[in-house]
Each structure stands twice: as C-alpha cells, then as structure tokens.
Amino acid sequence: MDARQITLNYEGGSLEMSVGNAKSIFGDDFKDLNPEPTDLSVSVKSHSRVRVIGGGSKTIGAYNYTFKQWPTSLCSGAGSGTVIYMSWDGSDGQFTGRVSGPMAEAAQYFSDNATKTLVFRTKRGTEYGPFAQKEE
C-alpha cells in the first residue's frame, strides 16, 4: 500500500509521491494536509441562444452563480510537473516526487508541513532547503 502514488494539492500547485514517503515526511495523518475548497463566483453576461440552427434566437439575461472550486492538478506525464529528488532525516538516499506549479510554493508547503528536516532538488540541480523539522 505504501508504494501507491498520492497527490497532495496545495495553494498554487501539487506534490505527487509514494504513500510511504508521504507518511515518512508528513506523518501518518498526512491526508489532512489537503486544502478545503474555495467559493468561486462567476458572472455570465446577457447573450442570445439558438436552439435549432436556422431557428429563432432567445435572449438569456445576465446572471451570477457560485460554486466550490476544489484544488486541481495535471496528471499526464511531463505535463503533470517537474521531477524532484528528495531526502530527509532517516531516509535511505534520494527519492523522487513530482511537483506541479512554482518550486517556491512547493518549498513553502514542505516548510509548513514536513515533520522531518528535508531538502529537495530539481533535475536541473537547483537545491531547496533544508526545511527544518516541525513539531508533531
């Protein structure tokens, strides 16, 4: 079960890694790290609609609606983010993960939530961290 991949969404991006690594870095209750949805308001302008091509048009008045926007992430190969190499206190070497969104947001996420001192680097060699251990 710990070898399965999990995606943790956060404001500005997402982090994909194995469940075992997530447990090691964030603790066994890492599932509580996903953010809540935000309310998003949409305004639709007045417009005309044709039900049947060549038929008459109907005017639709302007209206507003609100919905809950849950965090999202891409999930297709390289489009789903940048590969990172992570190591932390107690890990046996480097482990891979995938970050979508800016690396600065991923660094902030690790800084806010990691329960172990952690460093990560991108495939290009940019190193981030160390992020100090947070108290559980």
Among candidate residues 43, 37, 38, 39, the one with its CA nearest the CA of residue 65:
43
Q: Tokens for 13? A: 């991006």
pLDDT tens digit string along 50-95?
A: 989 989 999 999 999 999 887 666 655 555 688 999 999 878 888 9
Domain boundaries, the chain: 5-35+71-131, 38-69
pLDDT at 70: 76
Report in angstroms the alpha-carbon separations of 80 from 72, 85, 97.
11, 16, 11
pTM for the complete prediction?
0.66
pLDDT at 32: 64
**pLDDT band for position 7 (50/70/90)?**
confident
pLDDT tens digit string along 28-50?
A: 876 666 667 788 899 999 999 99
